Structure 1
Amino acid sequence: MGTETLQTTVIKLNSVLEIERKIIGVKFLFEKEDFDNADAKPLINKSPYCVMVKSAMIGVSIKANLEQFGCNGAINALGMAPPDELSRSGRSSLKLGLYQDIVVAKSARNDITFCNHLAYGVMLKPLEKFTEAPDIVIIVTNSYNAMRIIQGYCYIYGTQKNFKIGGNQAICSECTAYPFESNDINVSVLCSGTRFWCAWSKNDFAIGIPYNKFADIVEGVLHTVNATEPLSEKLRIGKNLKDNNITDIYVDYDKSYYYNYAKK
């Protein structure tokens, strides 16, 4: 996907959904040279990865290496450094009070996705600012928009049967590492850590999408407008599409699938 198409795709999705924050991209940087050349501002102070994500969602372009990461969970999940024995055994999670015993903690630890690589750094910025393909797209929004994005995914790919949701390591593992390792979409209800550090709304959901699936999912969202959206939303969407000169979708203001299923 070229830059112009990428920007157009972002405009299309924002024309249909009222996403409060910027859609961002995440790119792994595996060599120091890649990090030095990456078009983003390097962090100076340590920061949790999820705070980097939220900063990108207000328009800031960021790059960070291991020295700038302020959260061990994200360091492990993103493959910035190998996990230690406390992490691998589940003892660190047990010590935090997240699980009832070591057996449950170890089982949960085994099911948390960690990137199977060693990266030098990451770059995060609003998706439309990328001039080359990122690896992962992250969206934080409300449950309605999450529903519509999943409907768009299902329009193209069918049901996603492998969501991984644990309520822990939400942004780093559930929305970045898991989509990267599985090459599939994931939804997260967020976690207590990111809700504390980023002050997300209680109604926020997060979604991680492999970039190679993003354009198709957006097309799926557009193609399900007529089946899923009520008239009030279609009026807003139709105006946005017209204002943004998007002409490849026809909005049918008299059609929704639930009307067709309703008993007469």
Structure 2
Amino acid sequence: MFETFLKTLHKTVNPHTFPVATKFIKDYNILKNVKIRLKNKKLAVCQQIAYSRYYGWSTYVEGDYSYCVLGACNCGLIKPPKRVLEGEVNCSVYQKDLEAAKNMQTLMPRVDESFQGFLTYPLSKPLDGIEPDVIVIYVNTAQAMRFIQAFLYHRGGEFIIKSSGDAGVCSRCVVEAFKTKEPKIEIPCLGDRRFAMAQDFELAVGIPYVKIDEVIEGLEATHKAGIRYPIPFDLKEECSLPKNYTTQG
């Protein structure tokens, strides 16, 4: 399945960094015989994903080693502290007062259970015995369009994007995709850009692994129908050159 998905991605979307497999780990014992490049370094969730998508490294982080409090809370690695739940962490930064800040945190997607750790690795280097929960891919806006077309291939309608302007990839593309079992697209947050090398042109896509067959079919079918990436320009004859610049002048 990994090979089919990667082959389809390369043909239809061709992302510029590695697609990343992410996994919520209840018990580290399932990884005891798995070789992981980075373990329990003080990294944010978005930095773990960055190591996997840029360098092709696997990462595993537990509890307080997960350095960003929002990502650690969202992914169930720590119990959310009061300063997060009450909005103190984002008050006077993203919101003008505690009421607005608390409202943001109330709506922040978080898992409903605790996990021992969070695992990331490039999908092209699968780990024995490990099935991803969510696949994360960073794309440009044209590539995001191709994913939306694939997501809507079976059901039509519209694709709704939610954003808090903070905790982008961890809250939406990982946690919300994991909880709802539906694909998500999100704008990378400030931390992702400053500390995890997200670029100005990028959007993050989160695909639950249980939806991978549908996404493959959607990408393949819309590609076959003629919707291609890169988008081919409509180059016309007799463009509007000044007369003296043409061979007909």
Deviation at 1:163, TM superposition (A): 3.1
- 1:35/1:121 contact within 8 Å kept: no
Alignment partner, residue 15 of structure 2: 19
Larger mean Cα displacement after TM superposition, 175-184 or 158-167: 158-167
Alignment partner, residue 175 of structure 2: 177
Q: Do structure 1's residue 83 and structure 2's residue 80 form an aligned pair?
A: yes
Please give the secondary structure, in 2, of the residue aligned with 1:147. Answer: helix
Aligned pairs for 1:165-244 within 5 A: 165-227=163-225, 229=227, 233=231
Deviation at 1:51, TM superposition (A): 1.1
In proportion to residue count, which structure has more helix? 1
Please give the secondary structure, in 1, of the residue aligned with 2:182. Answer: coil
Unmatched runs of 5 consecutive residues or more in structure 1: 235-264
Alignment partner, residue 142 of structure 1: 140
- 1:38/1:123 contact within 8 Å kept: no
Aligned pairs for 1:1-264 within 5 A: 5-58=1-54, 59-95=56-92, 97-130=93-126, 131=128, 132-159=130-157, 162-227=160-225, 229=227, 233=231
1:235-256 Cα shifts (integer Å, max 9, x gaps): xxxxxxxxxxxxxxxxxxxxxx
Distance 1:129 1:120, change over 3 A: same
Deviation at 1:156, TM superposition (A): 2.1
1:159-195 Cα shifts (integer Å, max 9, x gaps): 3555321221011111111111111111111111111
Distance 1:116 1:18, change over 3 A: same
Please give the secondary structure, in 1, of the residue aligned with 2:132. Answer: coil
Unmatched runs of 5 consecutive residues or more in structure 2: 233-249
- 2:21/2:121 contact within 8 Å kept: yes
RMSD: 2.1
Deviation at 1:91, TM superposition (A): 1.9
Please give the secondary structure, in 1, of the residue aligned with 2:11. Answer: helix
Tell me the TM-score normalised to structure 1 length: 0.80
Q: Which amino acid aligns with 2:41?
A: N
C-alpha distance in 2 between matches for 1:82 and 1:207? 26
C-alpha distance in 2 between matches for 1:79 and 1:12? 32
Identity rate of aligned residues, in percent? 22
1:61-108 Cα shifts (integer Å, max 9, x gaps): 11121243111111101000110111111222115x111222211211
Task: Return the index of the structure with the highest Cα Rg.
Answer: 2
Tell me the TM-score normalised to structure 2 length: 0.85
1:103-162 Cα shifts (integer Å, max 9, x gaps): 211211111101111111121111132243200010011011111011001002433555
Q: Size of the alignment, in residue pairs? A: 230
Deviation at 1:199, TM superposition (A): 2.5
- 2:40/2:62 contact within 8 Å kept: no
